[in-house]
Every structure is written in C-alpha cells, then in structure tokens.
C-alpha cells in the first residue's frame, strides 16, 4: 500500500510539471518581445530621417538624363572614326651605319571616307619619316602620306585596312555655326586615346597662326578641352557631324587653358578632295602678276595693281591690262582689281582669300579701276602652276 501511494504521488507531480511547462510556453509565444519591438520602432524612426528623394533613388535603378544619353551615344558612334597617330624619324648611326627609328610625336586624326583616307594636321606629321595609325580596336597600321597643305595645316594619310574597319564621319557645315552651341572634341591628348571633351563655341572668325606661321582664318574658338595630342582630331556638333579640325590652343603653359581653335569644315571640305586627288591644293589663278604692297597707297588708291598680264591666261583672254611705261619713262597704270564677285579687295592677301573661295574653271566677276573709271568684266579662272 505504501508503494502504491508513492507511485501515485510521483505521477501527480509529473503531470503537474508538464501542464505548467505547456502553459508557460504558450504565454511566451503570444506575448510581444520587448527587444524586438524596440528594434522595429528604432528602424521606423530612422526611415523618417531619410530624404524621400534619396529613398526614391535608392529604390529605383539609376537612370541617365536625356542629354547624357545623347552624349554617350554620340561618342560611341563617332569614336571608331577617330585614330591615334604616332610618328617617327629614321636616323643613321655613323659608326655602325645601322638605321634607328626614333619616336617623333603623336596626334589625332579621323577617317574622311571608306577608302582609308585619314585627315590630320600638317604639323602632326611634319618632318616625319613614318606614321603608324592605331584604330579604336587597338590594331595598328602603317600609313602612307597622300598630300599636304602646309599653309592650311592639313594633311591626308591613308591605310590599307578592311572596309569594315573604316568609319568616316558625317560632314556638316561651319557657315551656320552660332556662339554658344554645344561642341564635342575627340582625340588623344598626351597619348591618352579615345578621349572625349565637351564645351561650346566661344567665338567665330578668329585668325590664328598655323604651321610655319601661316595664318588660319575664320577659325572656330571653343572651350572644349584641347591639349597636345588632340591636334588633328574632329570637332563635332551635337548631331555628331564634323564642323572643324582641332588645330591649336592658346596657353602660356602649353596645356589646356580654356581656349582652343579648329579649322572650319567649310575649308576642309574643299581642301581634302584636292589633297587626295593631286597631293596638294590646285589653286585657281587670274593669270596676272601684281604689284608689291604699298604702291597704290602712295597715290591714294586702294585695290591690287596688275603689273603684268600673263600671255594666254584668263586675264589676257578677258582683256585685262598690264602696267606700262610711255616713251618718256612714265608709268601708265594697269587695271586695279577692286572686287571679285562683289567681295572687296584691298590687298594681295584679300585677293588670295577671295580666289580660294572659287575653283579652277569657275567664272567670276571682276571689278576694276581702269584709269579712274569703274569697269566690270568676267573671266574663267585658270589653274596656278
């Protein structure tokens, strides 16, 4: 009986312990945890401190603005057209008679057509014996010189690469440019290839000194960063069209100072085909020899005095008159050129500029001062030798 009572008490205690434990577990699961509640509350308070605009940016994927997308697309489209030019010279060792290739310089250029012709500055390849071209895919090609226009600071090279690797730029215009419009320059400043800089047209109609001191007229001034190595690279408008060839910078230190210059594409457009076809510029001519500067100033006249009309030339065919001497040795002034196609001519430089606007075989109107009478006639321009 005693043993039965002890067993009964043990069962009662075991059952009580089980019920007590189940009750405590249920209470724990249903009652909110203070620590978790505190953490959740703190998180909510932190979110209130965050700028809603930043929350939106963090929540959504970052998107480029339309103008950024346009610039990126333009660069991706134009970059394969721009090349990196390295030049070198050959030097003979007078002791071993070996020929050494000496690096000379570098610059930029771009494809003009799908025949492999590359436009660059004359000063990039000046006095070089060899030029190599590195394309956007990093392949390197030997180039041959096709033609140069030293006084225009332009040159044409050519590589024999597969047509699929040749990507000419679309050619725009420069006579309708406006100060303030967006421009982009692509080149290889300091040897860093495929570099894009952006800016605006700062001024138009500038005159800068080109290779050999020859003036480059009607240059485009831009604040797009142009540094050594950018020379020969393209200046593009916001449509990706070529509007200039980067040629010079204005800088006391030799590096970018906010002022760069480009040869206008309207000049490039007629020069490059002539360099490709003839290797040089075939300049139109009137077929005359003109007096040196200052002669007419002494007699208070303006214009350009014809000293001699060349036999069988355009001026001869048109009846223009040379300067002569009478029997007493007095000068009889020849025709004085006052204008070509109504463009006023005051000196020999202006005469050259006016002729460059026309091509050989083109008919032009000449306005003359013939013994104090205004005479107009026409002639067909010939080809300068």
Positions annotated as catalytic residues are 123, 153, 231
How far apart, in whole angstroms, are the C-alpha atoms of residue 234 and residue 83?
10
Q: What does DSSP say about strands 336-340 and 331-332: parallel, antiparallel, or unpaired?
A: unpaired
Burial per residue of 316-343, b for 16 or more beta-carbon CB atoms within 10 angstroms, e otherwise: bebebbbbeeeeeeeeebbbbbbbbeee
CA–CA distances in Å: residue 325 to residues 297, 308, 331, 333: 20, 12, 4, 8
Q: Which residue has the tokens 């000196």?
A: 347
User: Could you count the other beta carbons within 10 Å of the beta carbon of residue 214?
Assistant: 14
How far apart, in whole angstroms, are the C-alpha atoms of residue 62 and residue 282?
55
The closest of 79, 107, 133, 70 to 226, measured between CA atoms, is: 107
The alpha-helical segments, DSSP class H, found in 31-145 are 34-49, 52-59, 66-78, 122-125
């Amino acid at each position: 009986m005693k043993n039965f009572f002890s067993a009964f008490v043990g069962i009662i205690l075991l059952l009580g312990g089980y019920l007590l434990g189940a009750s405590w577990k249920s209470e724990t699961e249903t009652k909110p945890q203070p620590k978790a509640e505190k953490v959740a509350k703190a998180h909510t308070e932190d979110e209130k401190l965050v700028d809603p605009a930043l929350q939106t940016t963090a929540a959504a994927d970052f998107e480029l603005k339309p103008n950024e997308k346009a610039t990126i697309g333009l660069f991706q489209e134009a970059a394969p057209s721009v090349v990196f030019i390295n030049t070198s010279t050959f030097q003979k060792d007078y002791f071993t008679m070996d020929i050494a290739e000496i690096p000379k310089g570098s610059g930029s250029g771009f494809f003009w057509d799908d025949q492999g012709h590359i436009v660059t500055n004359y000063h990039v390849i000046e006095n070089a014996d060899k030029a190599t071209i590195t394309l956007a895919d990093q392949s390197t090609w030997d180039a041959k010189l096709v033609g140069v226009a030293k006084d225009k600071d332009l040159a044409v090279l050519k590589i024999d690469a597969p047509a699929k690797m040749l990507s000419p730029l679309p050619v725009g215009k420069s006579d309708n440019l406006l100060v303030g419009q967006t421009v982009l320059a692509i080149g290889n400043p300091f040897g860093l290839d495929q570099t894009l800089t952006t800016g605006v047209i700062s001024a138009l109609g500038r005159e800068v000194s080109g290779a050999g001191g020859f003036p480059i007229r009607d240059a485009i001034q831009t604040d797009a960063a142009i540094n050594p190595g950018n020379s020969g690279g393209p200046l593009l408008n916001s449509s990706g069209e070529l509007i200039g060839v980067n040629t010079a910078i204005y800088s006391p230190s030799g590096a970018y100072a906010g002022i760069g210059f480009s040869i206008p594409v309207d000049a490039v457009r007629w020069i490059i085909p002539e360099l490709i076809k003839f290797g040089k510029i075939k300049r139109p001519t009137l077929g005359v020899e003109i007096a040196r500067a200052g002669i007419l100033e002494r007699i208070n006249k303006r214009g350009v005095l014809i000293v001699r009309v060349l036999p069988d030339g355009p001026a001869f065919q048109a009846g223009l008159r040379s300067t002569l001497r009478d029997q007493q040795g007095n000068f009889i002034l020849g025709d004085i050129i006052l204008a070509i196609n109504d463009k006023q001519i005051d000196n020999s430089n202006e005469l050259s500029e006016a002729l460059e606007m026309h091509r050989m075989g083109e008919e032009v109107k000449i306005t003359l001062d013939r013994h104090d009478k205004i005479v107009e006639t026409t002639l067909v321009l010939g080809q300068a030798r």
